[in-house]
Structure 1
């Protein structure tokens, strides 16, 4: 009986289980079976996977506190995701669970869903797709809830997520309209209200309507029950107030973040402290109390991960208060923390670069700007600004180095022989002391090495037995004494002795270092052991002839002139520019530098408001350089502005047009005239480049390359000089003057030779050719007049496809001319490649002899 009862009960349970699995029958058992199974199995695992994915997103996301934070911590990338692909396995798993819940436990009977958990499944599906950055499929999932589950308790949540997805698709206006309607129609509370208003605030931030965004982020910060969100929303509120220049309100918002203390992630608290510090009133605030607060933040052990930001803010405080050495120390401390915030690192480097630039330490400034660029987004506007300044700084470093080195050498040359001997005797005595100190150091090091070797041998005598060092056999560099010693020796050979301090590489090296010490060091390196400590050796290295000394003076003066122009035109550093031009005029410069320097000084005096000095400079130019264009401009400012035909730019354009018209001799002569007329003007290298091009077209490849090399040498730091060097490099492939076989060419020409002076004859002949080729339909022909050299000009027919065709065409044309009793001209046929070679190398005779 008992066995039969058990069998009946088992059979009944089995039947109930079988019948409850049906998704097409609306019964109490079926509904609850699928609801419970979906909720506590499939969806439970799906939401767990979603949470794991969100946590991984948060841990990998890096907030940029230099901009207004987004409401949601999620980095959206432009990477295209193909169907079936995913960025995060957790979100894929969450999506799979959501789909499984819908497919296995959905009870859609006659268009109505009887499983109350399916709306949760669609919500999970949409959120998984949203965080996987597949926003269009996510939008479809949220819309499914809104269209098919109007009675769902998740309807408002789905509406908020739909608008978050719309924002990600840049549909901010639609999101605002729908969220405002939601807030008007529904009485949202707590977290739903926080989610809706924070999303609405983000939409307004995206549209840069910051004042409206503040209203909604306030509501969100009050409504949310999550402390992390409360801290983030209040911080964003402070940032919005800062953007609108309401510093007091911003500080109140940051205080709300700070008051949360350990309830929120530490990064929000430190960021709020930093933002408050940025808003400090240096005129009316209590500086002592403020510094004490920053110092307290610095010493707090909990703040160690954020010392990069704290050090930076302390450095800012000291810089504002003119405590330069302390500021530099803290900027460097911030850099030594190896901060992951590249914007902060770039700002540290840039500030130090600006400081050293203002202090005229251009080598250091340039090094810091180089480091700034490596930490900035390439081709961004700030990057281009620093890059331009850094490029200009290279010129400053070069010319400052030339001026410094040549001034140093000239000062030594100007010394009496006795003073020269005394100077270099002191220098060589210093070298001897350094050599003795180095010898003593090496001896001490050798004794230490011997002592270490003795210590490391097997212990003999009393004492504890020696224990073998497990590191002795290690391959790690610093565990091997021999390798370490070798490395130290290699380092000293390469870099010399360097003090253990920041920026050690820049102490005696780096770009643009032309100091006299560096020049002397070069002389020392080339000296024998006897010469190295002989003062007379160094005296003999000084320039002795008047030509050498004049060359140094000329280079030094040109460097001063270029520095004056760079400081005036590129950096707007008018005081530095004035100093350079004034120093130049006191140094008896070449005549070509005098007048431009005086005029630039006059303009600088005007800019600085030094009326008396500008008037004196003006009268000096008018009286002593009456025939110059500068004097004309000063005497007739209105006419000079109205009549711009004689401006350097206009004359350059006119000369360039002559080049295009192949009037090469005219270009050369005009360029020579304007080079003298605009001596010292920035337009000079442009005319030099025009002149070199014209001479190249007339006299050939070598003349062109020589001209470009000279421009690259004389104007190395101008755009034209760099362009000339680039042209020289690119012209290497054209150096071959040999001729190619006609078999490899597909384009040929017929060339007629004329004396350049017979311009009328050339014009008439070209007309006859133009008329003749119109009757030939089987070729697409054209003609041109090409200058070959000063004596010879070509009339060329283009568009023939073979060498035989070119020869035959020319014979037909000549026969027609003879019938018409027209003039006949000698001609030759040539391929396109060989014609280019003839024009470049001017080797026509060689080509004709080979035919």
Structure 2
């Protein structure tokens, strides 16, 4: 009986202890125990497992300064989504089921960490702030604020970061948190490119670090940074310390290598000793996956000795060596590009080496962005140079007899067979035992011949690219299809086989070669094909001339290409601009620039380039743009008021005072529009056609075409639009147009222009009665934005335009963004008492066009422009 009573009492106590409401000693003890080990501990363990996996999956790049924090890899986070969600569930249970335990705040902190890892920065920030405000444990609050500081740095919210740093600097922080704080401070300074700040913060972090492996990493970062600053003695000490604490072998290897560099190798006059040191590293079997690094470092050493040839040889060998870090290959190719550009001004080789570098360097790497920027001009240069070489060679081949063409193709294949067999035999020879024995002659700069079948490297690349693109296929009649491989070629420089070699179908080296029919099939035969090649040549000579003069600062070569275009293509539409560029180039070199002034005035008196050379001292730059904008507005207002001669006078005066600003093409088109009102239709049409051929602004060209169409005959229109619908051909289209004529607005004189990259706003228009009835509209818009466009920070505003009420939603970065909003708005937006026709008549408009609309107050005119342009 007593036993039953005891069990009952025990059961009552146990049940009462489970209550999360009663704040008694028994309850607190129970909830502290269960929340800690049943929820918090398990959640924390899983989060740490994910963090460790991020660290393990990250490949350290010891050739670059290591980052303070290892970047969080989204792929690793995504692959651990289930584990993190389990952690979230456990932490949430610790909060919901054990509200009186002391682990509630810690569990909130874990929720913040999960959101941070998953990239939910707003939620993480709110959670961290909650713990800071409501947390009872100062150490936990400090830990949370340090996590919040790192988040602010991620988001580049430096003012908030500064406030957090200032607050923490006044707090009494334990050693564990102080270590994390100094590391996070180093991350803050790293983000702001404050080198001294990073050094100071990491140096302080070492005072509180307990993990020797992590100390090794920090010491390595400090050594790298001191070495970059030229403080070799300090760098040497930290490299030595980085080898302590049983670090990973790769870090130990680089620490030893760089320590030797700063201590001896960079200062040694005994070149044989240095080379022997690298030789020993190369032969060490422990470094079999680091041979590319050893050879690369040796190449850098030889570069310091001024031996460019040996440097190139070593770099090419480094690209072939095995390595554990793919990015290392990217740095090797980047160095090859640098030398080819600086030493030889070889733009083609530079471009292709940079292409190779980008295949190994991560797209998010800052150096990748710099390479892409550097490559922009080089890509264009190589494209036009190779197109000129190929098209010119193919045109010359097209003039030869079929027998001569066949003989040239057969001789080429025979020569290539011999070369490939020689190379295959050389590849089978025993590999050199030393990195300095029998270095491969990779820096062959290729034949100087530009004739297609005489340039073996160009032909090899073309043949290999043909097989890579099309495979083994029968000859076809369509030459353009068979010559597609010519439009995108590879570099005419040898490339390391391990990285960029062309894969072949089998081990036979001759399998790369095309047959005679494939080669002959690439030679143009029809007048249309020849005309296509000539059009491409004309364009490439012109664009290459511009590029060489403006971007690559190769004035002489630029002049040569522009003069070649004028000589070979005297009827080119690009001739006025070519004259103008030659005028500028000759002025720069002190040559005869006046000859081009004379030619422009004689051949193209109405050209905008003629305006410019006749007024060489006219204002330029932003001031000229602003002034010409004011003149354009005056001229347009005069045109709109039907004062065409006054408008023309303003335009021509502006063109003479401010030639070649961003307004020039607009002014030229307005001048042509005045011609259409003052002079004959023949003159109007001729000037429009000339403008369409020469203008670079696609939006203005489209507007000019709209003006030209009414001046064309039915036959000319049919030529321009050969695929008209049947109803238009039968006259039904004309009937439809006449039915809509009452609401149509003439767009040929439209003051609006397309600028899709400009900021846009979305507009809803309605009369005052509808505005009054739709009193919930603004609130409905807020709800719509919060549901469909959360995080876009859209703003609402309203204004009046005469008798029309206007609701404005902004901003949208581009027309594309505005159109996405527009489509969702039409399909899903609803507001009480707002008619459907108001929703359907909404539109978006660029800021520039809205300024014009605000001046003209003609909403229907813009709606017509909007329908014709965007819908």
Shorter chain as denominator, the TM-score bin is 0.5 to 0.7
2:84 maps to 91
Distance 1:201 1:143, change over 3 A: same
1:261 aligns with 2:243: yes
For residues 164 and 611 of structure 2, the distance between their equivalents in structure 1, rounded to whole angstroms, comes to 70
Q: CA deviation at 1:265?
A: 3.8
1:222 aligns with 2:216: no
Q: CA deviation at 1:383?
A: 3.7
On the 8 A contact 1:309/1:344 being kept in 2, the answer is no
On the 8 A contact 1:346/1:373 being kept in 2, the answer is no
On the 8 A contact 1:234/1:257 being kept in 2, the answer is yes
On the 8 A contact 1:194/1:223 being kept in 2, the answer is yes
Q: CA deviation at 1:192?
A: 2.7
Q: CA deviation at 1:562?
A: 5.9
1:233 maps to 218
Q: CA deviation at 1:219?
A: 0.7
Q: How does 1:677-716 map to 2 (within 5 A)?
A: 697-700=710-713, 703=716
Distance 1:394 1:750, change over 3 A: same
Q: CA deviation at 1:52?
A: 1.5
Distance 1:275 1:392, change over 3 A: farther
1:818 maps to none
Q: CA deviation at 1:224?
A: 1.0
On the 8 A contact 2:597/2:610 being kept in 1, the answer is yes
1:569 aligns with 2:533: no
For residues 749 and 144 of structure 1, the distance between their equivalents in structure 2, rounded to whole angstroms, comes to 62
For residues 209 and 148 of structure 1, the distance between their equivalents in structure 2, rounded to whole angstroms, comes to 34
For residues 130 and 576 of structure 2, the distance between their equivalents in structure 1, rounded to whole angstroms, comes to 81
Of 168, 172, 197, which aligns to 1:186? 172
For residues 492 and 333 of structure 1, the distance between their equivalents in structure 2, rounded to whole angstroms, comes to 37
1:748 aligns with 2:745: no
1:19 aligns with 2:13: yes
2:308 maps to 323
1:666 maps to 683
Q: CA deviation at 1:197?
A: 1.6
Q: CA deviation at 1:636?
A: 8.5
For residues 740 and 711 of structure 2, the distance between their equivalents in structure 1, rounded to whole angstroms, comes to 20
Q: 5+ residue gaps in structure 1?
A: 414-419, 442-486, 508-517, 528-537, 609-613, 708-727, 752-831, 837-851
For residues 410 and 6 of structure 2, the distance between their equivalents in structure 1, rounded to whole angstroms, comes to 112
On the 8 A contact 2:209/2:215 being kept in 1, the answer is yes
For residues 705 and 102 of structure 1, the distance between their equivalents in structure 2, rounded to whole angstroms, comes to 75
Q: CA deviation at 1:665?
A: 1.6
1:52 maps to 49
2:434 maps to none
- Superposed CA deviations along residues 228-272 of structure 1, whole A, max 9, x for unmatched, are 432443455567668xxx622488458625642373345655777
Q: CA deviation at 1:749?
A: 5.2
For residues 743 and 598 of structure 1, the distance between their equivalents in structure 2, rounded to whole angstroms, comes to 45
For residues 256 and 300 of structure 1, the distance between their equivalents in structure 2, rounded to whole angstroms, comes to 24
Q: CA deviation at 1:700?
A: 4.0
For residues 501 and 162 of structure 1, the distance between their equivalents in structure 2, rounded to whole angstroms, comes to 47
Distance 1:490 1:28, change over 3 A: closer
2:379 maps to 390
Distance 1:383 1:223, change over 3 A: same
Greater alpha carbon shift after TM alignment, 223-232 vs 266-275: 266-275
Distance 1:238 1:250, change over 3 A: farther
For residues 665 and 125 of structure 2, the distance between their equivalents in structure 1, rounded to whole angstroms, comes to 62
Q: How does 1:594-673 map to 2 (within 5 A)?
A: 603-604=584-585, 607=588, 614-615=590-591, 617=592, 638=617, 645=655, 656-657=669-670, 659-660=672-673, 662=676, 664-670=681-687
For residues 122 and 552 of structure 1, the distance between their equivalents in structure 2, rounded to whole angstroms, comes to 69
2:230 maps to 248
For residues 129 and 686 of structure 1, the distance between their equivalents in structure 2, rounded to whole angstroms, comes to 46
1:400 aligns with 2:397: no
User: What RMSD in Å do the two structures reach over aligned CA positions?
Assistant: 6.8
On the 8 A contact 1:197/1:219 being kept in 2, the answer is yes
- Superposed CA deviations along residues 541-560 of structure 1, whole A, max 9, x for unmatched, are 999xxxx9999999989976
1:197 maps to 182
Q: How does 1:354-433 map to 2 (within 5 A)?
A: 355=340, 377=363, 383=372, 386-387=375-376, 389-403=378-392, 430=411
Distance 1:169 1:504, change over 3 A: closer
Q: CA deviation at 1:570?
A: 4.2
On the 8 A contact 2:555/2:585 being kept in 1, the answer is yes
Instruction: Please give the secondary structure, in 2, of the residue aligned with 1:572.
Output: coil
On the 8 A contact 2:146/2:181 being kept in 1, the answer is yes
Distance 1:214 1:43, change over 3 A: same
Q: 5+ residue gaps in structure 2?
A: 423-467, 476-484, 486-491, 505-512, 625-652, 743-863
Q: CA deviation at 1:157?
A: 3.6
On the 8 A contact 1:270/1:306 being kept in 2, the answer is no
Distance 1:210 1:20, change over 3 A: farther
For residues 31 and 561 of structure 1, the distance between their equivalents in structure 2, rounded to whole angstroms, comes to 83
For residues 138 and 625 of structure 1, the distance between their equivalents in structure 2, rounded to whole angstroms, comes to 65
2:785 maps to none
Instruction: Please give the secondary structure, in 1, of the residue aligned with 2:729.
Output: coil
Aligned length: 617
For residues 430 and 605 of structure 1, the distance between their equivalents in structure 2, rounded to whole angstroms, comes to 44
Q: CA deviation at 1:568?
A: 1.8
Distance 1:344 1:98, change over 3 A: same
On the 8 A contact 1:224/1:230 being kept in 2, the answer is yes
For residues 16 and 234 of structure 1, the distance between their equivalents in structure 2, rounded to whole angstroms, comes to 58
For residues 549 and 89 of structure 1, the distance between their equivalents in structure 2, rounded to whole angstroms, comes to 62
Instruction: Please give the secondary structure, in 2, of the residue aligned with 1:248.
Output: coil
Distance 1:525 1:137, change over 3 A: closer
- Superposed CA deviations along residues 549-583 of structure 1, whole A, max 9, x for unmatched, are 99999998997666444422343223433555688
For residues 294 and 584 of structure 2, the distance between their equivalents in structure 1, rounded to whole angstroms, comes to 45
TM-score when normalising by structure 1: 0.52
1:717 maps to none
For residues 705 and 309 of structure 1, the distance between their equivalents in structure 2, rounded to whole angstroms, comes to 66
Distance 1:557 1:188, change over 3 A: closer
2:647 maps to none
For residues 373 and 472 of structure 2, the distance between their equivalents in structure 1, rounded to whole angstroms, comes to 36
On the 8 A contact 2:296/2:314 being kept in 1, the answer is no
